[in-house]
Amino acid sequence: YINPFYGYRAGWRGRSPQNIVREITALLEEQGDSTFYFADPNFFGPGLSGQQRAMELARLIKKQAPGIVFGFETRVNDIQ
What's the pLDDT tens digit per position in 3-45?
A: 666 666 666 678 899 999 999 999 988 998 788 898 888 788 7
Would you state the pLDDT for residue 17?
A: 93
Higher local confidence (pLDDT), 78 or 74: 74
Q: What is the model's pTM?
A: 0.75
**What does the DSSP assignment read for 1-67?**
-HHHHHT--PPP-PPPHHHHHHHHHHHHHHH---EEEEE-TTSS-SHHHHHHHHHHHHHHHHHHSTT
Higher local confidence (pLDDT), 80 or 54: 54
Would you state the pLDDT for residue 16?
A: 92
